[in-house]
């Protein structure tokens, strides 16, 4: 593999995503109306071996971020409904397996799309968030809207957001008000969230990682098209 090699857990995660059809190459229209040569759907990690692969990758990314000082301490892993729910629960379990001394008592929570008005009621399922440091686990950051909603819910419950970890950073600039043909530099949604909230936000894989890791796993044509897409839409941060 040319250039800087991926960490083994990242390379294994990327291979699992490609082999399992979670990361697909072709032509995909995004919400932004851009035509992307690749598409990542964390909802496709529904098979046991794939769930093990993604939960291990999330847990390793979190542990590395803690060890490097990128991420501080946290009490609860939070998964925004719906895709974030299995990601948060599986990551909590894997963290406890990999480092029971540090994470053996870590908790998880997730939200409901609509508040429950009977039984225990409320918007949150799992550990109460009040007074706790909360790590958000989700699949990708597109426009950042869903993450802002999750942050608002956590803060409303009295929690403090410690950071956000996602599976993929597309490194893609936000659409320009004048249209993508303006060729003006624009930040990414991830970069904007970092500035807005002042919290650590990191990903298991970036688009750069995918392009590097595709070598030997995808066709030359898919690699070329993905590189061209990066050149056209890469954000300033």
**Which residues are known catalytic residues?**
116, 118
Strands 107-116 and 122-126 turn out to be: antiparallel
């Amino acid at each position: 593999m040319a250039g800087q090699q991926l960490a083994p857990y990242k390379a294994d995660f990327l291979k699992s995503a490609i082999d399992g059809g979670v990361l697909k190459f072709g032509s995909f229209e995004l919400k932004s109306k851009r035509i992307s040569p690749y598409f990542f759907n964390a909802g496709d990690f529904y098979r046991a071996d794939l769930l093990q692969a993604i939960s291990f990758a999330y847990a390793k990314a979190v542990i590395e971020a803690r060890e490097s000082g990128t991420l501080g301490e946290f009490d609860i892993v939070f998964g925004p409904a719906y895709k974030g729910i299995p990601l948060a629960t599986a990551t909590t379990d894997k963290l406890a397996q990999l480092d029971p001394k540090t994470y053996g008592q870590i908790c998880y929570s997730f939200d409901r799309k609509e508040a429950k008005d009977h039984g225990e009621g409320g918007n949150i399922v799992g550990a109460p968030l009040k007074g706790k440091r909360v790590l958000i686990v989700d699949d990708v950051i597109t426009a950042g809207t869903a993450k802002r909603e999750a942050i608002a819910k956590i803060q409303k419950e009295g929690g403090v957001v410690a950071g956000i970890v996602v599976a993929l950073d597309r490194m893609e600039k936000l659409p320009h008000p004048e249209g993508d043909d303006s060729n003006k530099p624009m930040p990414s949604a991830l970069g904007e969230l970092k500035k807005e909230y002042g919290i650590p936000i990191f990903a298991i894989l970036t688009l750069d990682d995918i392009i590097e890791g595709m070598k030997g796993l995808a066709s030359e044509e898919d690699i070329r098209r993905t590189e061209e897409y990066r050149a056209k839409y890469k954000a300033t941060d």
